[in-house]
Amino acid sequence: MNTLHQSPLDPGFVQNPYPFYERARAQGPFFHWAEYGMACTGNAAACSAIFRDRRFGREAPAELAPKIPPHLAPFYAVEAHSMLELEPPRHTRLRGLVLRAFTSRRIAGLLPEVETLTHQLIDAFPAGPFDLLAQFGQKLPVIIIARLLGVPEAMSDDLLRWSNAMVGMYMAGRDRAREDRAIAATEAFVAFMRQYVEARRADPRDDLITSLIAAEEAGEKLTTDELITTCILLLNAGHEATVHTIGNGVKTLLETGHTVTPDNAETCVEEILRFDPALHMFTRWAYEDIEVMGHTFHRGEQVALLLAAANRDPGVWENPGQFQPNRPAKPHVSFGAGLHFCVGAPLARLELQAALPILFQRLPTLRLAEAPSYGDVYHFHGLTKLMVQAT
């Protein structure tokens, strides 16, 4: 397995990581990324296989569980109940309870609300150049997830701030200042959610928090700490990736001269998700010695699945580096696969398929007002702002 060097903080990589992914692909199914100290793959078949193989998982083997520094304890106390970070049997129980509340019917019922909110946000756009990310991309998903959970949408700016600070824990170049911001956000978020959960226990409403409180499986209910973590996970994951996907997607559409209509919304959104996804890396631990495509992983080793690279695997897609809004949809890995397939994928798809056609219908002359720039947020991938104008 060949070793490659590439700082995830390098400005060129931040703006366009795809040439590095292609260089890495030329090494074979796996390569060793020196800066991360682990095997990585951008091979679609390898990513799909590892996602689905129960011998790999998110939880570190017990003997390798990292020692948590005291100053980070509040963050990891929340993570300890996150189904994103757990394996069966706890993952099975938590995900089952969440899916009893987060039903496809409940999500489908949000369509009129997403459409109405999209029009309202567009009505409020300022004249002249403006940041579509701040005025639209950030607002739509966070307001919808706040309404879904039943927390006041007036809190959406706080929710956005807390979420941004918390996901900083996963970014390259994490330092003590970023950690301190994440801990402060975690403590504020937990205090807010604890108060909200207790209020809903006393006064049930028609919202997701009440449904999560009521959800029961084989006599099991979510504990208050599990409820709080699940709500934080749904809020963070429920908008963070969608914000980046709206920004990356609109940027791509404007740069390539394409548009999205109600007729091509489904295929166009899948192509947006494939072509320039919001999440570029997900890691897994090996639980035993396993061979995958000629490489042997030993128990306790980690492997990084490079989702954005896998989505451009020429073994699966023809001309993968080309954006084709009418490309016949094939499975991509932007939402993961297997046990941890993203619970929020149906909501993200609904928001994107509903909102983007309205945006382009209402603003047919929409164009870039300045060159967009990606933020230094790897292993996420999203714009700092998206300056546009529609005159």
Q: What pLDDT was estimated at residue 156?
A: 86
Q: What pLDDT was estimated at residue 103?
A: 87
Looking at residues 352-365, what average pLDDT do you find? 97
Beta-carbon contacts of residue 177 (< 8 Å; ≥ 6 apart): none
Select the more confidently predicted residue: 25 or 65.
25
pLDDT in tens, 349-358: 999 999 999 9
Q: What pLDDT was estimated at residue 144?
A: 92
Looking at residues 362-385, what average pLDDT do you find? 96
Looking at residues 254-267, what average pLDDT do you find? 96
Q: How far apart are the first and last CA of the chain?
A: 53
Q: What pLDDT was estimated at residue 46?
A: 97
**Beta partners for residue 130, in sequence order:** 388
Above 80 in pLDDT, residue 33? yes
Above 70 in pLDDT, residue 217? no
Q: What pLDDT was estimated at residue 100?
A: 85
Average pLDDT, the chain: 93
Peptide bond into 88 cis (omega under 30): no
Above 70 in pLDDT, residue 206? yes
Structure tokens at 329: 């949809």
Looking at residues 274-290, what average pLDDT do you find? 97
Planar angle of CA 348, 351, 357, nearest 5 degrees: 130
CB under 8 Å, gap of 24 or more: what pairs does 179-187 form?
179/71, 179/72, 179/75, 180/71, 182/75, 183/71, 183/72, 183/74, 183/75, 185/161, 186/74, 186/75, 186/78, 186/162, 187/74
What's the number of domains the chain is made of? 1
pLDDT in tens, 263-276: 999 999 999 999 99
With pLDDT > 70 as the criterion, what percentage of the chain qualifies?
99
Q: State how far the alpha carbon of 240 is from the alpha carbons of 148, 167, 245, 258, 294, in Å.
A: 16, 9, 9, 25, 36
| Low-confidence winner among 111-125, 209-223, 256-270 (lowest mean pLDDT) | 209-223
Select the more confidently predicted residue: 98 or 22.
22
Reduce the secondary structure of the chain to three states and give it as a string: CCEECCCCCCHHHHHCCHHHHHHHHCCCCCEEECCCCEEEECCHHHHHHHHHCCCEECCCCHHHCCCCCHHHHHHHHHHCCCHHHCCCCHHHHHHHHHHHHCCHHHHHCCHHHHHHHHHHHHHCCCCCCEEHHHHHHCHHHHHHHHHHHCCCHHHHHHHHHHHHHHHHHHCCCCCHHHHHHHHHHHHHHHHHHHHHHHHHHHCCCCCHHHHHHHCCECCECCCHHHHHHHHHHHHHHHHHHHHHHHHHHHHHHHHHCCCCCCCCHHHHHHHHHHHCCCECEEEEEECCCEEECCEEECCCCEEEEEHHHHCCCCCCCCCCCCCCCCCCCCCCCCCCCHHHCCCCHHHHHHHHHHHHHHHHHHCCCCEECCCCEECCCCCECCEEECEEECC
Above 70 in pLDDT, residue 65? yes
Q: What pLDDT was estimated at residue 149?
A: 87
| Low-confidence winner among 22-31, 40-49, 61-70, 183-192 (lowest mean pLDDT) | 61-70
Q: What pLDDT was estimated at residue 364?
A: 95
pLDDT grade for 49, boundaries at 50, 70 and 90: very high
Q: What pLDDT was estimated at residue 218?
A: 67
CATH code at 39?
A: 1.10.630.10
Q: What pLDDT was estimated at residue 41?
A: 98
pLDDT grade for 62, boundaries at 50, 70 and 90: confident
Looking at residues 93-109, what average pLDDT do you find? 88
Q: What are the strands of the beta sheet with 302-306, ordered from one edge?
A: 3-4, 31-33, 38-41, 302-306, 281-286, 56-57
With pLDDT > 90 as the criterion, what percentage of the chain qualifies?
75
pLDDT in tens, 163-181: 889 988 888 888 999 999 9
pLDDT grade for 14, boundaries at 50, 70 and 90: very high
Q: What pLDDT was estimated at residue 258?
A: 96
pLDDT in tens, 126-143: 999 999 999 999 999 999
- Distance between CA atoms of residues 17 and 280, nearest Å: 9
Above 80 in pLDDT, residue 251? yes
Looking at residues 29-42, what average pLDDT do you find? 97
Q: Domain range holding 176?
A: 3-389
**Residue 242: CA count within 13 A, CB half-sphere:** 32
